[in-house]
Amino acid sequence: MNTPNKLTVARVIITPFFLLAFMSSIPHRCLIACAIFGIAAITDAIDGKLARKNNQITTFGKLLDPVADKMLTTAALLAFIAEGICSVWPVFIILTREFIITSVRLVSAAQNVVVPANIWGKIKTATQMVFTVIIMLWGELVEVFGFLRLNYHTVTNVMIWITAVLATVSGVIYLVQAKKTIDFSK
């Protein structure tokens, strides 16, 4: 197994630890979870660059990398719902987009067709990662200082809704691109 694939597998392994830390009652849980999330997010940035740079792109990596990403981001969204800091509706929109796009990617892979990620998808992913970090760091401040609780839930929901809008836009663009190159009758 090459290094990029090891990093992808590491992200899969790290994700439950992120969720465990965030959902725990230990002191500074948000900060600890944020650090774990950050490490996992960094592996996402590094694995793709390494694979392209060293010509180590594999079918395993192409299939597992997006799954590992979705595991990490979904864990964060589910934790936010469980903690009552975001609404279920934007999360539903985001996850629906992820399931649809992952399904289309599997169809395209089966047909040996590559539908490249669009800039909107990259913006959505970057925004979602940054917002997740902001939400956890703000959560740490709320736990430590309490008075910063004002508007926390409102701002958190706005950030998740922005992600949902970006997810929708990038998903529609991806589907339009895919329709031009994939035979959906097979």
Residue extents of the structural domains in the chain: 3-181
Give the CA dihedral 143, 41, 132, 140, nearest 10 degrees.
10
- Average pLDDT along the chain: 90
pLDDT for 133-174, tens place per residue? 999 999 999 888 876 777 888 999 999 999 999 999 999 999
- Threshold 0.85, pTM exceeds: yes
Query: Considering the domain 3-181 in this protein, what is its CATH number?
Result: 1.20.120
Name every residue whose Cβ is closer than 8 Å to that of residue 85 and which is 6 or more positions away in sequence. 135, 139, 152, 153, 156, 157
- DSSP states of 18-74: HHHHHHS-STTHHHHHHHHHHHHHHHHHHHHHHHHHTT---HHHHHHHHHHHHHHHH
Cβ atoms < 10 Å from Cβ of 87? 16
Residue 60, pLDDT > 80, answer: no
